[in-house]
Structure 1
Amino acid sequence: MASGLFVNPATLLNVVPVISSTCQLWFGWDQYEFLQLFLKRDIQAQSNQLLPSYFTTFFNRGAPRVGGLLLTTIVSSAANLRYAPGNLLHERGSFIWYSAAIGFALGHLTYFPFIFPHIRAITSDAKEKNVTELKNWLYVHNWRTLTVDLAGWVCCIVATVKTLSPVSANGN
């Protein structure tokens, strides 16, 4: 009936970290896809000229989105840890996965000292070195995406699947 149209709020809370971490991972991949175009050999001279303006706009718009997605993953995972009934997450084995998801989302931020010098160089116009700075930024960005962002996404999926999976008749 009509009640089948609504999602249980607890179930929705379990799924939010999957959604936000998926968006984070997707956004990271898109950043690579769109920015690596500036590295093409035949347009590097133009890229060196365009990158300061483009990257400033890109970063000013993208950083709040990334921050919002990370915050959503952290807060929703923490809310699952805090508000799950009784020992449900421990019994289902998902407590550690939600905890790890928080750790990996915070781990995204630990890359900032390695990325910020490249951001500053490009936005300050490193002239003929903008393409090189972008290449260096993408290198660190890709490692971050393939380590903490991917691991966080996996943790969110495992936590959600474990939490929402029905318990079998024999208790396993």
Structure 2
Amino acid sequence: VPGWGVFTNKELQGGGPLIDIGIHMLDAAMYVLGFPAVKSVTAHSFQKIGTQKSCGQFGEWDPATYSVEDSLFGTIEFHNGGILWLETSFALNIREQSIMNVSFCGDKAGATLFPAHIYTDNNGELMTLMQREMADDNRHLRSMEAFINHVQGKPVMIADAEQGYIIQQLVAALYQSAETGTRVEL
């Protein structure tokens, strides 16, 4: 749980780990998938740990005012038959300290984004088709250049406003499903 700023205040932050890091993983997954049309969303959130403790790996907080979810788990179903599972947490009793990744599982191959790996089955053995361990050091610069180009009327940005709107709709639907305990159709 980030103990600084307003990370634990739902009114000011808007939510917990879904709003903080989950939204970036959701955006990355949707971008790679080509923003397929969403059929429905189902989610469950939990607030059990942050209200009982007052400190963790990322600082201290007041459990009496902790108002965000500790974790949120969601399933997004697409009209094309695919699904996206989202797991996001500030506080969860798991062995790993931090896992931030996007994984894809298909019938012919699988992949991860962080680091970028594509792998498949070759006669019963996992085989790496492509591997890139290091992140592109210029990725933020390229992102800013793309924005400037768009403002100047040059080629379209990497991500557009419609994609941002879709991500916001998904976040709202995930929170709605978690709060109501129902499936949200989109």
Which structure shows the bigger proportion of residues in strand conformation?
A: 2
Which TM-score applies when normalising by structure 2? 0.25
Which TM-score applies when normalising by structure 1? 0.26
Flag the structure with larger Rg: 1
The structure with higher relative contact order (CA 8 Å, sep 6+) is 1
